[in-house]
Amino acid sequence: MGLWQPLKVATEVPIGLFLREEYDPEKKIVLFVHGVSGSPRNFEALIACISLVLPNRFSIKKAKRLN
């Protein structure tokens, strides 16, 4: 619905960022949001690389569709 009626979605659907684990102020949040034709899998290699090279510095989150 958001693609075809963005103003309707903006006024009817709550918008926000909800964390699935406790917030750690020592870590920077990295949020990956894919495009219309993408999926969270588009970021798997990048996330694996960041997690390997810089473990414990970032709290990496992938956006999930809310149904």
What pLDDT is recorded for position 2? Answer: 55
Q: Would you state the pLDDT for residue 1?
A: 54
Does residue 65 have a pLDDT over 60? no
- For the record, the structure tokens of 8 come out as 């309707």
Give, as one character, the DSSP assignment of residue 30.
E
Amino acid at 31: L
Please report, rounded to a whole number, the percentage of residues in the chain having pLDDT higher than 70.
Answer: 84
Domain limits of the chain? Answer: 25-67
pLDDT digits 0-9 by tens, 37-47: 888 788 888 88
Residue 62 phi, psi (nearest 5)? -110, 135
Does this model's pTM top 0.75? My answer is no
**Maximal C-alpha separation, the chain:** 42
